[in-house]
A = this chain, B = another copy of it.
Amino acid sequence: MPKQSSTRKGQFATSARMRDVAKRAGVSTMTVSRALNEPSKVSEEMRERVLSAVKEIGYLPNHLASSLSSNRSTTIGLIVPSIDNSIYTQTVKGLSDVIRQSGFQLMIAESGYDPNEEEELITAFLTHRVSGLVLHSAEHTPQAVAKIAKSGVPVVENGNIPEKPIDMVVSYSNWDAAYTMTMHLGRLGYKHIAFASLYSVHNDRSRDRLKGYRAALEQLGLDYDPRLVIETSRGLSSGAEVVARVVHSVPEVDALFCAGDVLAVGALFECQKRGWAVPGRIAIASFDDVELLRHLSPSVTTLRLPRYDIGERSARMLLSRIMDGAEHFRGSIVDLKFEVIQRESA
């Protein structure tokens, strides 16, 4: 004789199970499962009986159980360097839009630009059996890479185009973007182009932007002057400091390329405070086309990066790997390019 109910103690109100639905509908649990997940494999009458039983009981499927049993989950893990950085939110939105449509859920965590923390998060996501990973950073611990490989979970890196990708990549090239903007400034006639970015420690995006800047200088036949390169932290004040420092050490500076929108705005404000013409005394260029830059006066020349598209494509590729087993995406590198937005500030 079957037990009427479990004697195990649980902290939650015991919710209705599939077997309760089955009993109520007078069918087996398999029919319930099929009616819910593969409706076409069930006769219409059964389907209706099951669905009304589901409603009457208020049954909510248990995804933990179904994932465990079917060995497939519907969660995707996303790791960003910093959650309160508006730059990523567009990408997150792109991911979220696509993922939700397919009934997947996003687990999000922040690494704080620390590869060891990233590794811990990857491990945590793997224990949660995410079916895919999205990593913004391209810098990982060897252990993290090894764990991912061992798990077999598909991965998209989407903050940069790494030299040695783990698996798939959907991004623009930070090197290329910085190179292009620097070339653009050079062609506009600027001769002493300063470069400001966030600290490049554990930040491959910053490093690649610096490299692109240097490559462009070389191409332009301009000397590289380390006094013109400044790394700093996020914030409008940092942008202001950059102007102060660079003008102090190299008075003949005539352009400032800020590899970060917040820095650029801070720099512009500082110039305005000093009563400098932008451009004129100094030109300013930014990175990322946030709405604000278009509305400032002078409007700020910048790079438009495909932030939303990166999220969207990342999600699509990941999902086709996960759902359709589309192996041809394995190792794909998608370079989504960017655009120079010429405005008044340079």
Contacts and interface: CB of A to CB of B under 8 A. Distances in A.
A12 B152 contact: yes
Interface stretch (A58-66, A176-184, A189-197, A246-254): A58-66
A261 to B, nearest CB: 11
A153 B12 contact: yes
A41 interface: no
A89 B96 contact: no
A229 interface: no
Contacts of A158: none
Nearest to A74: B128
A65 B69 CA distance: 9
A85 B150 CA distance: 37
Contact of A236 (B60, B68, B92, B292): B292
A293 to B, nearest CB: 10
B93 A60 contact: no
Which of A108, A109, A265 has the largest number of chain B CB atoms within 10 A? A108
A330 to B, nearest CB: 14
Contacts of A63: 127-129
A72 B237 CA distance: 45
A310 to B, nearest CB: 13
Contact of A10 (B71, B90, B110): B71
Interface stretch (A26-34, A44-52, A98-106, A203-211): A98-106
29 contacts: A8-B71, A12-B71, A12-B153, A15-B150, A58-B150, A60-B127, A60-B151, A61-B127, A62-B127, A62-B129, A64-B129, A68-B68, A75-B128, A83-B93, A83-B96, A84-B89, A84-B90, A84-B92, A85-B89, A89-B89, A93-B110, A96-B109, A105-B109, A106-B108, A265-B292, A265-B295, A266-B295, A269-B295, A292-B292
